[in-house]
Each structure stands twice: as structure tokens, then as C-alpha cells.
Amino acid sequence: MAKILIVEDDEKLSNCLVSWLRDRHYIVEAVVSGRQALEMLKRYEYDAIILDLLLPEVSGEDVCRLHRAEGGTTPILMLTGKGGLNDKEFGLDSGADDYLTKPFEFREMGARVRALLRRPRISNPSTLKFGDVELDTIAHRITKAGKEVTMQPMEYALVEFFLRHPGRVFSMESLLSRVWEADAEPSYDSIYTCIKRIRRKLDDKGKPSIIRTLYGVGYRLNCDAS
């Protein structure tokens, strides 16, 4: 489940984008200024950014340039009401990966976002497997030994995140920044409870848990359980 940051000062458009993308199972956060965007990018990690060019306080161009200058590699789709070739070059030269002129069809925007997410920076197969657990990112469905397992949204997001990063250890802070939305006000107890529910649904009795706890460090997908 990809996490997307929308930076758009048109409240109506921003709300529509958030709703449309969430309906398609993305984790979405939205801010209205370039300054807020830079603050969010310092605190959280995203899989893609939808960035308006004309923003209050700090322009979209400057957000893009500063993010790239600090080593940020998150794919950026630049939005603007300008359609001239010079304006497109202006946006792309600042470090954006793609450019979309307003007004646009949401289906086109969605296709461009999916294209950005398929780039080498992110491994984004449609089916993720680990042992007898299989996650279909298109159908938004998890099965174990061929039987569908009902998951709450954050349980699904956390399982997908671990399956996309096998062997890597993630601290509580990393999981909060990568999987939870900033305005969800999660806590360490939220992670603990969510992982407990996942284990109850996916673990095999008498065998190692699918998610291993490294005390004082964090959690990782347990290769011994596959």
C-alpha cells in the first residue's frame, strides 16, 4: 500500500484527490503549503508526491529542488495550471519526475502515479508471497494456504509493508512514519496491537511467528516462518 503526499492549496481539488486515491487503497496525506510539505518530508517517508507548482510560502519548484538537494528520491508528479512547454521544462528541471497540467482527468493522474510507483526505486509486484501467505495488491486481498483472511486496513498495510521489505528490521518510529498517516495519532501500543492481530490471523500453531520481535530494536518479517 503506497503512501502518497499531496501538496495542493486548492482545498476542493485536494479533498477530491485525497478521496479518489484513498478509494483505491493508497495511504494519503495532504498539506496546503510548501513549508508544510518540507516539514512533512523531514519527518515522514512517502512513496510518491503530488506537488502543485504554485504554492504559498514556498513554491512547488523550491520544494522539489530542496527535497532533491537533501538526497530525497521520492517520485514527484508536478501539477500546474500552466501548459506551455517552457513551464513543463521549468517543473521537470527542478527535479520532478512527471508533469500534469490542470485541469486533468483523475484517471490520467492515477495512471501517472502508478507509473511512478513502478519505477526501479520501488519494487511493486502485483502479488507478494511469503510461505503460504499471498497478498494481491490489485484485488486488495490476503490469503493463507488459499483461504482468504479478513484484514483491517492498517493490518493489511502493515503486512504489505513487511512483505515488500523481507529481512529488514524496522523500529517503532519507522513503522509509524512509513505505514500510519500522520493525523492518525498512532502510538507504540497501536503497532503492538496491530501486530498481535496479524499474528493471530497468519501464524501457524507451534511454528515461529510471521513477524519476529527484536527486543529493543523493532520488528521484521521472520524468514524462519516461511
DSSP string across 71-94 = T----EEEEES--SHHHHHHHHHT
> Per the domain annotation, does 149 fall within a domain?
no
Domains held by the chain: number: 2
Q: Which CATH number characterizes residue 64's domain?
A: 3.40.50.2300
Plot region of 218 (φ>0 → left; ψ -120 to 50 → alpha; else → beta):
left
If the chain, 226 residues long, is cut into consecutive pieces of 10 residues, what is the mean pLDDT of each piece? 93 96 94 95 92 90 86 88 58 78 92 87 66 88 95 91 85 82 71 94 92 91 73
Q: Is residue 158 located within the same domain as residue 54?
A: no
What are the grid coordinates assigned to 70, written together?
537533501
Q: Is residue 111 located within the same domain as residue 158?
A: no
pTM: 0.61
Q: What is the pLDDT of residue 90?
A: 57
* DSSP classification of residue 122: S
Instruction: Give the residue numbers spanning the domain of 39.
Output: 3-117
Of the residues 117, 144, 163, which one is the last residue of a structural domain? 117
Q: Is residue 82 located within the same domain as residue 165?
A: no
Q: What is the pLDDT of residue 112?
A: 92
Q: Is residue 18 located within the same domain as residue 112?
A: yes
Q: Is residue 98 located within the same domain as residue 18?
A: yes
Q: How far apart are CA 176 and CA 16, in angstroms?
A: 25
Q: How far apart are CA 177 and CA 43, in angstroms?
A: 7
Q: What is the pLDDT of residue 176?
A: 83
Q: Is residue 30 located within the same domain as residue 77?
A: yes
Q: Is residue 99 located within the same domain as residue 200?
A: no
Of the residues 97, 117, 137, which one is the last residue of a structural domain? 117
Q: What is the pLDDT of residue 226?
A: 59
> Per the domain annotation, does 17 fall within a domain?
yes
> Per the domain annotation, does 39 fall within a domain?
yes
Q: Which CATH number characterizes residue 199's domain?
A: 1.10.10.10
Q: How far apart are CA 76 and CA 48, in angstroms?
A: 6
* β-pair partners for 169: none
Q: Is residue 19 located within the same domain as residue 79?
A: yes
Q: Is residue 80 located within the same domain as residue 162?
A: no
What are the grid coordinates assigned to 18, written together?
485525497
> Per the domain annotation, does 127 fall within a domain?
no
Q: What is the pLDDT of residue 91?
A: 57
Q: How far apart are CA 202 and CA 225, in angstroms?
A: 10
> Per the domain annotation, does 123 fall within a domain?
no
> Per the domain annotation, does 95 fall within a domain?
yes
Q: Is residue 112 located within the same domain as residue 158?
A: no
